[in-house]
Amino acid sequence: MLLQQILNGLTMGSIYALVAIGVTMIFKSMGMLNVAHGDTIMLSSFIAITLIGLGIPFYMALILTIIAVFLYGLFSEKFIYRRLNYDSFTNLLIATIGMSIILRNGSIAIWGAEPRLFPNIFSDTPIIINGYSILPQNIGIILVSLLLMGLLQVFFYKTKLGKSMRAASTDPEGASMIGINVSLTRFLTFGISSALGAIAGILLAPMFNVTPDMGAVVVLKGFSAAIMGGFGNIIGAMIGGPILGIIEAMSATYISSAYRDVIAYIVLIGVLYFKPTGFLGKRTDQKL
Amino acid sequence: MSLLKIDDMTKTFGGLTAVKNLNMEINNHSISAVIGPNGAGKTTVFNLITGVYKLDSGDIIFNGESIVNLSPDEIVKKGITRTFQNIRLFKDMTVLENVMTGFHCRTECEILDLLFKKNKTKKEEAEILEKSLKLLEYIGIYEYRNEKSKNLPYGHQRILEIARALAAQPKLLLLDEPAAGMNSSEKDDLIKIIRKIQNDYDLSILLVEHDMGLVMNIAESIVVLNYGAKIASGTPIEVQTNDAVIEAYLGKGEDSNA
Amino acid sequence: MKNKNTINYRHLLTISVCILLPIVVQNKYYLHLFNMIGIYSLLAIGFNILAGYTGQISLGQAAFYGIGSYAAAILHVKFNLSIWIVLPIAVIITCIFGVIIAIPALKVKGKYLVLLTIAFGEITRLILLNWVGLTKGPAGILGIKAPTVFGFEIDSPMRFFYLISGFVILGIIIEKKIVNSRIGRAFIAIREDEDAAELIGINLKSYKIKSFMISAAYSAAAGVLYAFMVGYISPDSFRYDESVSILSMSIVGGFGTIYGPIVGSIALNVLPEIFRPLSEFRMVFYGVILIVTTMIYPGGLLKGFEAMLNKFQLKRKLKTPKNKDNILKSNKLY
């Protein structure tokens, strides 16, 4: 039973990790909280369903969805967020809020508010190990997630483009002085972040019904996961996701399923209070 | 009888010892300076005095009382204020509002007063306004009073920071590189202002400065730091001719501001 | 010499509009809309003081709104207390929560604070939803009766309009007093540079807590009015979306200005109505307008119209004598 809970926790945690990485990338790169990320996730699910409904083969539809959302990410950076020059936190927040409203209400207008079913990506038949029954879905999500995280690590640490993106994130001025096109890195960051959101959406959709609201809670969980792992770095997001997933699963089982989310949020506040990331004790007023 | 006494003060950051066993005294009604090559720990000393950093060991005694466990705002109330190396004005406020904010810790009206004790509030606000205007006039930037502080010319911004620090009625005023970025006529004005303040107000001034000309001109006593430790102290003449001081500066590359 | 307390043409205009509006506009739907504008104005002012002036950006205002609303509703329904008794109690209870959330908030800045407040908002909503014994859970609280003011029963949108306008006007007066005072300067100093503020003698903890409390008080008042106006509340009215709306109104209207919240509340409540003919796509246009506004008027609508404002003296500005000699002799400085 405990193992089952841990497994569930890791499954959800893997999705949270993907969401957390998505929001962390944008936070690190542009200093903005992309509250529309959840709606990106929702959008992906709807696009996928629509493509499948049009008769496109399943896995092709998924790939097209990821590409479409990647393009959407590029588009929104270039035509909307870039216009704001990334200098005002509150204005960027409003812009993402506006985007969120457009996506959510646009979805209602186009697809209606009725929940839809999403076909299973992984097979339905449970795998039996040692008397425990495990859904392929759980293993599948965890593996996909690990694979993606591995790919991202390779990309960011071993490829020139990835390293440039990290540099531009950490120090835009310095990076541009050594010839890195910071604008391009931001452009791509948004694209990649959105694509990650798309994958998260596709993994999430079979488990829950697809509704225009589905992104709202998961994006908050993604932010929580990012903070628990130490907001501002990708590795932190990767760790935070499973941590959050397991905390939630444990709370649901041993404390109360209604208050499961409350526990997760309280842990979040606790983390922020006892280990406020990044500026621990460091005063910035006198720098030579 | 000293105003400020720093006793064997040490501060390390990770592996780096920023300030090492520093001993210093500042008397009433004096102008002193702390100098030293870049990275010598001068600004750290200011940060330690004003409560931004906690000491690793040692003590700081102000007016007979140890201040090392006080928060920065408590230390201001005790009577120490400062200006900053990279100007830290309240940019969106006007010049006048910046100075009025300086009077904050010497006034007391709170929300309940605001809502229910109109006369007391009105009277206190009027006082703050009057004192602020007088201070601006005294220091010479009255005509800019309604400008946003970020629109002021650089030299005037530095003067404004001093005015704001004065508003808090300090007994010890710390000036962190007040002449940085100023041209020579602005520096002359600065020297005049510092002398005027020291003359008219009952306080001591402690400067950190790189401009040797300015320091030798105003300071009565100087402490020289290098790698966080005091290598010399005394009057300007004594310090100028001290071998260890000369070596510290020449060894690092001569300071070109004098 | 203009004195804050003298009634000038600007005040007269506002008061006339407030008195005449419900007489001219009899349509109940529109009156309800104006009432909601009033309630959101109070919420937006509360947010503006905390975020616009003190720089503590919160996406959890719905929590204060909800706590105030539920506190009043529960006390009223359980003990049959009038609005005039439950209002101050609800405000005090919410202020206590303001202090509770302020404490972790003290340590946290910028984007982390936003997330902290989101968490707080969600926790509150979930507790309101799940503590069925206290709040009746998803069913909500029914049977909140119409309040009475000086013997008049407030049971129509028109009467509520007068009641709410009164609160909004009071809210603006108090906001003005706070902003133009020593406390307001402390708040702005914290927003501008909190380390420098501390080093000029401002106790950060104390003032941040005060800011949260004031914000909580405004939100609670709005919550109480809302409860009595619609007669029924449920956790659905206090979701994260509400916090988002409140933040949007304050920023779009004019962040860090006295009247910005009102302008924002009017703009963002009227806009969906204007777009009503577009039916399902109206909110999409709302989102578009939000984005466009932020691009064109980065400081908010109010700051965008600053030239016009100077004429009506709506800017926060101290009058000081031009002739220096006067200041040294004169006692009258306003």
Give one DSSP letter per residue of B99-138, joined into a string: HHHHTGGG----HHHHHH-HHHHHHHHHHHHHHHHHHHHH
Q: How far is CA B237 from CA B215, B241, C282, in A?
A: 11, 6, 78
Chain C contact present for A156, CB below 8 A:
no
Euclidean distance between CA atoms B209 and B207, whole angstroms: 6
How high is the pLDDT of residue A281?
27
Task: Give the residue on C whose Cα is nearest the Cα of A227.
Answer: C112
How high is the pLDDT of residue A166?
86
The number of angstroms, rounded, from the C-alpha of A227 to the middle of its chain's C-alpha atoms is 13
Residue B198, domain CATH: 3.40.50.300
Three-state SS for C228?
helix
* Dihedral sign for Cα atoms in the order C114, C116, C119, C120: negative
* Dihedral sign for Cα atoms in the order C214, C220, C223, C227: negative
Cβ atoms of A212 and A104 within 8 Å: the answer is: yes
Which chains touch B (3+ CB pairs under 8 A)?
A: A, C
Residues of chain B positioned with their CB less than 8 A from the CB of A283: 47, 52-53
Q: State the average pLDDT over residues B160-174.
A: 96
Domain boundary at B103, B137, B168, which? B168
Euclidean distance between CA atoms B62 and B77, whole angstroms: 12
What is the per-residue pLDDT across A86-137, written as a single tens digit (0 to 9) for each? 888 888 999 999 999 999 999 999 998 888 888 888 877 887 777 677 888 8
Q: Which helix (H) or strand (E) holds B233?
A: strand B229-234
Q: Are strands B16-27 and B2-13 parallel, antiparallel or unpaired?
A: antiparallel
Three-state SS for B16?
strand
Provide the 8-state DSSP code for A119. -
E strands, chain C, are: 148-149, 152-153
CB-CB neighbours of B45 under 10 Å: 28
How high is the pLDDT of residue C313?
55
Cβ atoms of C161 and C38 within 8 Å: the answer is: yes
Euclidean distance between CA atoms C53 and B65, whole angstroms: 36
Task: Give the residue on C whose Cα is nearest the Cα of A30.
Answer: C111
First to last CA, chain C: 8
Percentage of chain B beyond pLDDT 90 is: 71
**Whether residues B34 and B14 fall in one domain:** yes
Chain B closest-CA separation from residue A183 CA (Å): 29
Euclidean distance between CA atoms C245 and C237, whole angstroms: 12
Residues of chain A positioned with their CB less than 8 A from the CB of B86: 287
Q: Which helix (H) or strand (E) holds A164?
A: helix A160-170
Residues of chain B positioned with their CB less than 8 A from the CB of A288: 38-39, 43
How high is the pLDDT of residue C311?
55
C-alpha radius of gyration, chain A, whole number: 19
Task: Give the residue on B whose Cα is nearest the Cα of A283.
Answer: B52
What is the per-residue pLDDT across C260-279, written as a single tens digit (0 to 9) for each? 999 999 999 998 888 888 77
Kindly tell me if the per-residue pLDDT of B153 is higher than 60.
Answer: yes
Euclidean distance between CA atoms A76 and A35, whole angstroms: 13
Phi/psi of residue A185, nearest 5 degrees: -65, -35
What is the per-residue pLDDT across A189-239, written as a single tens digit (0 to 9) for each? 999 999 999 999 999 998 888 988 888 888 888 888 888 777 667 788 888
pLDDT band at C24 (very low <50, low <70, confident <90, very high): confident
B160 within a domain of the structure (yes/no): yes
How high is the pLDDT of residue C320?
57
**Whether residues B25 and B128 fall in one domain:** no
Euclidean distance between CA atoms A160 and A156, whole angstroms: 8
Which chains touch C (3+ CB pairs under 8 A)?
A: A, B
Structure tokens at C167: 């609160």
Structure tokens at B120: 């007391």
Structure tokens at B200: 């008219």
Under an 8 A CB cutoff, do B84 and A286 touch?
Answer: yes
Task: Give the residue on A whose Cα is nearest the Cα of B88.
Answer: A285
CB-CB neighbours of A256 under 10 Å: 12
Cβ atoms of B30 and B194 within 8 Å: the answer is: no
B214 within a domain of the structure (yes/no): yes
Average pLDDT, chain B: 91
* Dihedral sign for Cα atoms in the order A215, A220, A224, A227: positive
Under an 8 A CB cutoff, do B47 and A283 touch?
Answer: yes
Under an 8 A CB cutoff, do B72 and C198 touch?
Answer: yes
Residues of chain A positioned with their CB less than 8 A from the CB of B44: 286
**Whether residues B137 and B186 fall in one domain:** no
Cβ atoms of A107 and A211 within 8 Å: the answer is: no
Name which of A94, A227, A259 is nearest C251 (Cβ-Cβ): A94
Q: What share of chain A is helix, strand, coil (3-state, %, to 5)?
A: 75, 5, 25
Chain A closest-CA separation from residue B43 CA (Å): 7
**pTM score:** 0.89
**Whether residues B74 and B192 fall in one domain:** yes
Kindly tell me if the per-residue pLDDT of C37 is higher than 90.
Answer: yes
Nearest CA-CA partner of B129 in C316, C186, C319, C198: C319
The torsion region of residue C260 among left (phi > 0), alpha (psi -120 to 50) and beta comes to alpha
Q: State the average pLDDT over residues C182-197.
A: 95
B131 within a domain of the structure (yes/no): yes
Q: How far is CA B52 from CA A110, B84, B89, C112, in A?
A: 56, 13, 17, 22
How high is the pLDDT of residue C75?
94
**Whether residues B174 and B258 fall in one domain:** yes
B69 within a domain of the structure (yes/no): yes
Structure tokens at B14: 């990770």
Q: State the average pLDDT over residues C199-204.
A: 96
How high is the pLDDT of residue C73?
94
Residue A3 identity: L
Nearest CA-CA partner of B170 in B194, B204, B193: B204
Domain boundary at B168, B201, B223, which? B168
Under an 8 A CB cutoff, do A27 and C111 touch?
Answer: yes
Q: Residue written as tokens 């009156």?
A: C31
Q: How many helices (H) and strands (E) does chain C have?
A: 16, 2
Structure tokens at C249: 């109104």
Residue A76 identity: S
Residues of chain C positioned with their CB less than 8 A from the CB of A94: 247-248, 251-252, 290-291, 293-294
Structure tokens at B67: 């201040």
Chain A contact present for B180, CB below 8 A:
no
Percentage of chain A beyond pLDDT 70 is: 94
Number of domain units in chain B = 2
**Whether residues B181 and B67 fall in one domain:** yes
**Whether residues B184 and B64 fall in one domain:** yes
Q: State the average pLDDT over residues C39-44.
A: 97
B226 within a domain of the structure (yes/no): yes
Residues of chain A numbered 263-282 and touching chain C (CB < 8 Å): 265-266, 268-269, 272-273, 276-277, 279
Euclidean distance between CA atoms C177 and C182, whole angstroms: 10
Chain A contact present for B81, CB below 8 A:
no
* DSSP states of C65-92: HHHHHHHHHHHHHHH---HHHHHHHHHH
* DSSP states of B33-59: EEE-STTSSHHHHHHHHTTSS--SEEE
ipTM for this model: 0.92
- For testing contact with chain C, the best of B114, B117, B131 (most C CBs within 10 A): B114
How high is the pLDDT of residue B124?
94
B96 within a domain of the structure (yes/no): yes
Which chains touch A (3+ CB pairs under 8 A)?
A: B, C
Chain B closest-CA separation from residue C36 CA (Å): 27
Q: Residue written as tokens 């709306």?
A: C245
Under an 8 A CB cutoff, do B133 and C192 touch?
Answer: no
Task: Give the residue on B whose Cα is nearest the Cα of A282.
Answer: B53
B235-238 contacts at long range (C-beta below 8 A, 24 or more positions apart):
none
Kindly tell me if the per-residue pLDDT of C194 is higher than 60.
Answer: yes
How high is the pLDDT of residue A12?
92
Chain A closest-CA separation from residue C249 CA (Å): 10
Cβ atoms of B204 and B170 within 8 Å: the answer is: no
Chain A contact present for B98, CB below 8 A:
no
Task: Give the residue on B whose Cα is nearest the Cα of A284.
Answer: B52
Kindly tell me if the per-residue pLDDT of B23 is higher than 90.
Answer: yes
Chain C contact present for A96, CB below 8 A:
no
Q: Which of A21-35, A218-232, C86-100, C118-132 has the lowest mean pLDDT?
A: A218-232
What is the per-residue pLDDT across C226-239, written as a single tens digit (0 to 9) for each? 999 999 999 999 99
Q: How far is CA C64 from CA C92, C102, C238, in A?
A: 11, 12, 9
Chain A closest-CA separation from residue B53 CA (Å): 8
Residues in chain C, overall count = 334
Chain C closest-CA separation from residue B232 CA (Å): 29
Q: State the average pLDDT over residues B22-39.
A: 91
Output the furthest CA–CA distance in chain A (Å, rounded): 64
Euclidean distance between CA atoms C71 and C227, whole angstroms: 10
The torsion region of residue C333 among left (phi > 0), alpha (psi -120 to 50) and beta comes to alpha
**Whether residues B115 and B236 fall in one domain:** no
Cα-based torsion angle of the residue sequence C254, C255, C260, C265 in order, rounded to the nearest 10 degrees: 90
Higher pLDDT, A254 or C262: C262
Chain B closest-CA separation from residue A281 CA (Å): 9
Angle at B89 between CA B84 and CA B95, to 5 degrees: 130
Structure tokens at B156: 């005037």
What is the per-residue pLDDT across A135-182, written as a single tens digit (0 to 9) for each? 888 888 999 999 999 999 899 889 988 888 888 888 888 888 888 888
How high is the pLDDT of residue B15?
84
Domain ranges, residue B212: 1-79+170-258
**Whether residues B72 and B116 fall in one domain:** no
Under an 8 A CB cutoff, do A288 and B38 touch?
Answer: yes
Under an 8 A CB cutoff, do C286 and A105 touch?
Answer: yes
Kindly tell me if the per-residue pLDDT of A76 is higher than 90.
Answer: yes
How high is the pLDDT of residue A257?
74
With b meaning 16 or more CB within 10 Å and e meaning fewer, what string describes C174-194? bbebbbbbbbbbbbbbbbbbb
How high is the pLDDT of residue B204?
95
**Whether residues B66 and B183 fall in one domain:** yes
E strands, A114-156, are: 127-129, 132-134
Q: Which of B205-209, B240-244, C74-78 has the lowest mean pLDDT?
A: B240-244
First to last CA, chain A: 57
Residues of chain C positioned with their CB less than 8 A from the CB of A269: 104, 116, 119-120, 123
Euclidean distance between CA atoms B44 and B208, whole angstroms: 11
pLDDT band at A276 (very low <50, low <70, confident <90, very high): low
pLDDT band at C84 (very low <50, low <70, confident <90, very high): very high
Residue C180 identity: N
Domain boundary at B124, B145, B168, which? B168
Q: From chain A, which residues contact B within 8 Å (Cβ)?
A: 283, 285-288
B84 within a domain of the structure (yes/no): no
Q: Residue written as tokens 């910035």?
A: A284
B85 within a domain of the structure (yes/no): no
**Whether residues B110 and B72 fall in one domain:** no
Under an 8 A CB cutoff, do A286 and B46 touch?
Answer: yes
**Whether residues B185 and B101 fall in one domain:** no
Kindly tell me if the per-residue pLDDT of B258 is higher than 50.
Answer: no
Q: State the average pLDDT over residues B133-156.
A: 93
Residues of chain B positioned with their CB less than 8 A from the CB of A282: none
Euclidean distance between CA atoms C270 and C331, whole angstroms: 47
pLDDT band at A85 (very low <50, low <70, confident <90, very high): confident
DSSP H stretches of helix in chain B: 42-49, 72-78, 95-102, 111-116, 118-139, 154-167, 184-200, 212-218, 236-240, 243-252
Residues of chain C positioned with their CB less than 8 A from the CB of A102: 284, 287-288, 291
Euclidean distance between CA atoms A10 and A31, whole angstroms: 29
Residues of chain B positioned with their CB less than 8 A from the CB of A286: 43-44, 46-47, 52, 84-85, 176
